[in-house]
Amino acid sequence: MGDYPNSLTLARHAYHQWRDTLGEDHPDTITAAANLAATVRALGDYPGARTIEDDVLARYRRVLGEDHPDTINAAAHLAATLRALGDYPGARTIEDDVLARYRRILGEDHPDTINAAANLADML
């Protein structure tokens, strides 16, 4: 409901709990980091969100692989943050890749594919 400072505290706590319990590369820990990045982004700290999102994407790629839906979704979030930072070339590269992967894996008519196409169109 917009209580981002409290959300940030809770997101940090959840991330640290998962990391301490399951380890840095456990999928639940990575998801908690992605949630933390979303909260940081919602607070307007785009550089901070980017740092976390870069790490989340790298870990998802290593743990789940390039074509896992969580990896692709993490890339899409990073692209949105890059757009917010004004890095349109970087966002464009990632958004092109996200759309191509969704088309190949989920098909042209899947909602995630359609959303990726809309995000790319919006940026263009």
Q: What is the pLDDT of residues 36-47, one digit of tens each?
A: 999 999 999 999
CATH number for position 115: 1.25.40.10
Domain count, the chain: 1
Phi, psi of 61 (to 5 degrees): -60, -45
Q: How confident is the model at residue 4 (pLDDT cuts 50, 70, 90)?
A: confident
Tokens of 69: 């839906």
Query: Whose CA is closest to 57, among 20, 94, 23, 100?
Result: 94
Write the single-letter amino acid at 54: D
Does this model's pTM top 0.85? My answer is yes
Range of the domain at 93: 4-123
